[in-house]
Amino acid sequence: MILSGWGRFPRVDCRVTRPRTEAELQALVAEGALIARGNGRSYGDAALSAQGTVDMRGFSRMLSFDAATGQLVAEAGVLLSDIIAAFLPRGWFPLVTPGTKFVTLGGMIAADVHGKNHHKDGSMAASVDWVEVMDGDGVVQRASATQNAELFGYTIGGMGLTGIILRAALRLRPVQSGWIVQETLPAPDLARAMALFEASGNATYSVAWIDCLASGDSLGRSLVMLGEHAAPADLDNRRRARPFVTPPKRRLSVPFDAPGFALNRYSVGAFNALYWRRGRRAAGRSLVDWDSYFYPLDGIGHWNRIYGRKGFAQFQCVLPLAASEPGLRALLAEIAASGQGSFLAVLKRFGAQDSRFSFPMEGYTLALDFPVTPATLALMDRLDAVTLDHGGRFYLAKDARMSAATLHRADPRLPAFLAMRAAEGRARSFASALSERLDL
């Protein structure tokens, strides 16, 4: 079966299996190297393996919930959207969520996803109490911060390369409504945008859309958006009476692949200029439903078709705090000079995080989507070099094209990760197109 990640690049002819029981999984593990796959929402080749791709969506039961602590125990194939549908009406919401709700619990843990609240709440690791992982011998081990701590630390953010995640316990957060109080703050340049982030450290959520084609005095102009879960006092009488009921969405869809020439510096530049002007006019406080605030792209079916048949690749790096401003200026200047703009460019502030192999570190993370072309692939190589020069690292859940040399230069934690994989036989049992490309 030809498979790809959400970016539709690369495409790999995979042997796909869909086990339903642990016994079936054990039999598959015994056959040779494989990789677990959730709902296919990692962008690149992290969940692809020609030899063995294990579709985990058959493991999709929610097993228990403790209303006193908010701890949910669920199987790895449960979708985040199903968790929200089951628990938001009861006053609970994920502590950490990425930008799509169509991901599985196992995928979120393997990628150690982050959200708009990393500066305050950390990454997925902060909400996971324990995981149960099957190793290459078919043995299932429970791992937590105090039990099999090394396995726990490497599994969260380990991209599925430490074993197959079967179950996990994660904590949800109590909320009083399904609404978000959003405040939009225009920033005319990068310095102002970063100042707004630094001044908004107490905000639960913060994120910025950044105009990556703006240059000169406007380099880094942004719309910084803060958010808080709305309390009853934030709602009008109608909403207060049913605080978890939000309007149904009219689901739009991209019906076909856009032609390759549709995204160019002129179309993206026009979109960015219009989005910036509209954002400035709409500045201030507003009330937004949870789905629109956290998952705006989920409302557009097959939005990945916008980038055409060749697909798209995302560049996402994080720069250490001290190097963030010069690093971001260098990245944005390189992008603006290339004319290879992205209409989806996102800037976030990460808080401190010390982890074995996860992506986040304290600083700023920049993410941009590009259609796959020779020019954009060359640009992303140059962005890699800028990131390395400023001490940054790269998000493997979004990567599809980085070189092994780049990754190995970027991450001093890598030798320890490889040693763990080798010592416990996990390198022999768990492999993906990503791990082969990056020599993991």
Contacts of 284 (CB under 8 A, 6+ apart): 183, 184
Contacts of 266 (CB under 8 A, 6+ apart): none
**CATH of 179-404 given 2.40.40.20, 3.40.640.10, 3.80.30.20, 3.30.70.2520:** 3.30.70.2520
Alpha carbons 187 and 328: distance in angstroms, whole number: 15
The string of pLDDT tens digits covering residues 235-247 is: 999 999 999 999 8
Q: Report the pLDDT value the prediction gives residue 261, as an integer from 0 to 100.
A: 60
- Measure Cα distances from 8 to 80, 123, 257 in Å: 22, 26, 11
176 CB neighbour count, 10 Å cutoff: 16
Position 385, amino acid: A
Crossing angle between the packed helical segments 190-199 and 321-338, to the nearest 10 degrees: 150
Q: Report the pLDDT value the prediction gives residue 305, as an integer from 0 to 100.
A: 85
Top pLDDT among 274 and 134 is at 134
Q: Is the pLDDT of residue 406 over 90?
A: yes
- Measure Cα distances from 126 to 24, 105, 324 in Å: 31, 14, 24
| Lowest mean pLDDT across 76-85, 306-315, 347-356 | 306-315
The answer to whether the beta carbons of residues 284 and 184 sit under 8 Å apart is yes
Q: Report the pLDDT value the prediction gives residue 249, as an integer from 0 to 100.
A: 76
Tokens 């020439």, residue located: 261
Top pLDDT among 114 and 308 is at 114
The string of pLDDT tens digits covering residues 285-340 is: 999 999 999 998 898 888 888 888 889 999 999 999 999 999 999 999 999 899 88
Domain ranges of the chain: 58-175, 179-404
DSSP line for 200-259: TTTSSEEEEEE-TT--GGGTT-EEEEEEEEPPGGGS-HHHHHSTT--PPP--EE--SPPP
The answer to whether the beta carbons of residues 226 and 159 sit under 8 Å apart is no
The answer to whether the beta carbons of residues 322 and 364 sit under 8 Å apart is no
The string of pLDDT tens digits covering residues 368-403 is: 999 999 999 999 999 999 999 999 999 999 999 999
Top pLDDT among 268 and 437 is at 437
Contacts of 67 (CB under 8 A, 6+ apart): 90
The answer to whether the beta carbons of residues 387 and 323 sit under 8 Å apart is no
Burial of 231 (0-12, 13-18, 19+ CB in 10 A): middle
Nearest to 79, CA basis, from 56, 60, 58, 51: 60
Return contacts of 274-277, CB within 8 angstroms, 24+ apart.
275/209, 275/211, 275/223, 275/343, 276/186, 276/211, 276/214, 276/221, 276/223
**CATH of 58-175 given 2.60.40.1930, 3.30.465.10, 3.90.1150.10, 3.20.20.140:** 3.30.465.10
179-404: same fold as 58-175? no
Position 290, amino acid: W
Rounded to the nearest integer, the mean pLDDT of the chain is 94
Q: Report the pLDDT value the prediction gives residue 262, as an integer from 0 to 100.
A: 62
The answer to whether the beta carbons of residues 128 and 156 sit under 8 Å apart is yes
